[in-house]
Amino acid sequence: MSDQNAMLMLQRPRRRRPLHPGFRLTLGITLAYLGLLVLMPITAAVLKALELDWATFRELATSERAQAAYRVSFGLSLAAATINLVMGTLTAWVLVRYRFPGRRLVDAMIDLPFALPTAVAGIALATLYAQNGWLGAWLAPLGIKVAFTPLGILVALVFIGLPFVVRTVQPALQDLDRSLEEAAASLGASRFQALRWVVLRHLAPAALTGFTLAFSRAIGEYGSVIFIAGNIPFVSEIAPLLIVVHLEQYDYAGATVIAVAMLALSFALLLVINLLQRHTPGSQSRR
């Protein structure tokens, strides 16, 4: 501690007041709000699942069919989020760095997957990609089936996750000081090197945040997927559908078992991604 700091501390009253007022109040409100909105429903789900004994819980949570459904849900969500990571970053780049006619229109279009009811998205995609749909009719002769296959699920998940990466990367890209790139260039970096070491490095944390959001959203997605998936057990049955299957049998406990298993898996994955993010070069949150 430097002398100057020690002096400052001496001058201050013993109980340090935070810089902004209302710390306790806002923290209290936040915790109560999150507790009510997030923690309570999750607790209710966990408690319901705990009504079952451990052996039944494990059997239901790890049955072959459930495992197949987790693989479909988590695997395709990861794939969809990865596609969105690449394409979303590219889209943000084009929207921020280039001026072209209709740019604002394209920019506004990005949010459409958010605004559209998911069922409408699912039905529209299924109509397009079915064997008699506009796109499906072209793909069928090539032997590519999209609707009612896992590929169809992927299309739906990419669609609903599209805005996340674009919307997180855009502001980061706007904030990026172009003089940094110019400095890199004047220091002898090639265009590719400047892109790789200056731009992408700066964008990585934002892009990863977008990736996480797109991924989490995809895991829980039900409405749009159900119309295009085919829903065949072991092939194209997503984990949320398995929850509904249990519910339709009035098997509330069974439904919450799958829900709790999904929750645990998602939480573990999100934790890993968060840790990754901390170690991403250029991250501000590194400590």
Partner 1 sequence: MHTPFRILLAVLALALGTSVPAAELLNVSYDPTRELYKEVNDRFIQYWKAEHGELPRVRMSHGGSGKQARAVIDGLKADVVTLALAWDIQAIAERGLIEPGWRSELPHNSAPYTSTIVFLVRRGNPKNVRDWNDLGTPGIAVVTPNPKTSGGARWNYLAAWGAIIRTGGSEAEAEAFMTRLFRSVPVLDTGARGSTTTFVQRGIGDVLLVWENEAMLILEQFGRDQFEIIRPRLSVLAEPTVAVVDKVVRQRGNEELARSYLEFLYTPVGQTLAAKHHFRPRDLTVLKANADKFPSLDLFTVDDFFGGWDAVQAEHFANGGRFDRIFAAREK
Q: By CB under 8 A, is residue 64 in contact with partner 1?
A: yes
Choice from 67, 82, 127, 266 touching partner 1 (CB under 8 A):
127
From the list 107-115, 166-174, 210-218, 228-236, the region that binds partner 1 by CB under 8 A is 228-236
Count of C-beta atoms within a 10 Å radius of residue 134 = 10
> What residues numbered 138-177 form the site for partner 1, per CB under 8 A?
147-148
Which helix H or strand E contains 252, and what residues bound it? helix 252-278
- Give the nearer residue to partner 1 in terms of CB position, either 172 or 228: 228
**Angstrom distance (rounded) from CA 254 to CA 61:** 8
Task: By CB under 8 A, tell whether 233 contacts partner 1.
Answer: yes
Binding-site size for partner 1 (CB under 8 A) equals 29
The C-alpha atoms of residue 275 and residue 277 are separated, in whole angstroms, by 5
52 φ, ψ (degrees, to nearest 5): -90, 155
Q: Which stretch binds partner 1 (CB under 8 A): 90-98, 201-209, 237-245, 279-287?
A: 237-245
Question: Given the complex with partner 1, which of 63 and 82 has the nearer CB atom?
Answer: 63
Q: With respect to partner 1, which residue has the nearer C-beta, 111 or 251?
A: 251
Nearer CB in complex with partner 1: 253/269: 253
Give the H or E element holding residue 117. none
Look-up of token digits 């991604």: 273
Interface residues toward partner 1, by CB under 8 A: 60, 64-65, 123, 126-127, 130-133, 147-148, 226-227, 230-234, 241, 244-251, 254
